[in-house]
């Protein structure tokens, strides 16, 4: 019987980028609703779900308590969050990045309206 040739090459190792992407699975994008507490943000994630019986799409939302170590985000910003170990009773999400800073834009618009 002829012997089967087996590859002696080792399997490719996971790169740092691939490992980091695996860690970011389950990320969500939402809007910061409240930034009144230190190192904690209240982020609202809006989504659509279909009614099981009638098929109508229903707007729903999830409110997450997010850990923001450096107090970078402010109310109105669009942020990306990822699950983490529980930090407190209600906080088990961490801020990954600020997708868009809308707080500064809102403040600028408000100041222009005050001048007029």
Tokens of residue 68, six digits: 């923001």
Taking the CB of residue 102, how many other CB atoms lie within 10 A of it?
16
pLDDT of residue 112: 77
Tokens 């007029």 — which residue?
116
Q: How far apart are the first and last CA of the chain?
A: 91
pTM over 0.85, yes/no: no
Residue 48: inside a domain: yes
Which among 83, 114, 110, 115 has a CA at the least distance from the CA of 96?
83
**Residue 8 maps to a domain:** no
Report residue 91's pLDDT band, with 50, 70 and 90 as the boundaries: very high
- Return the SS3 of 34: strand
- What CATH number should be reported for the domain holding residue 33? 2.40.50.140
Please indicate, yes or no, if residue 105 is contained in any of the structural domains. Answer: yes
Look up the domain containing 74 and give its range: 28-115
* Residue 96 burial (10 A CB sphere; 0-12, 13-18, 19+): middle
Instruction: List the one residue out of 115, 64, 110 whose CA is nearest residue 87.
Output: 64
* Number of domains forming the structure of the chain: 1
Element housing 60 (H / E): strand 57-67
**Average model confidence (pLDDT) across the chain:** 84
In a domain, 15, yes or no: no
């Amino acid at each position: 019987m002829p012997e089967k040739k087996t590859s002696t090459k080792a399997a490719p190792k996971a790169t740092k980028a691939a490992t980091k992407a695996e860690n970011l699975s389950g990320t969500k994008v939402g809007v910061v609703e409240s930034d009144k507490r230190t190192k904690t943000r209240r982020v609202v994630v809006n989504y659509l779900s279909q009614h099981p019986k009638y098929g109508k799409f229903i707007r729903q939302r999830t409110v997450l308590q997010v850990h923001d170590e450096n107090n970078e985000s402010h109310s109105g910003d669009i942020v990306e969050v990822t699950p983490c170990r529980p930090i407190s009773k209600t906080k088990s999400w961490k801020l990954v990045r600020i997708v868009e800073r809308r707080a500064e834009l809102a403040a600028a618009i408000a100041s222009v309206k005050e001048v007029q």
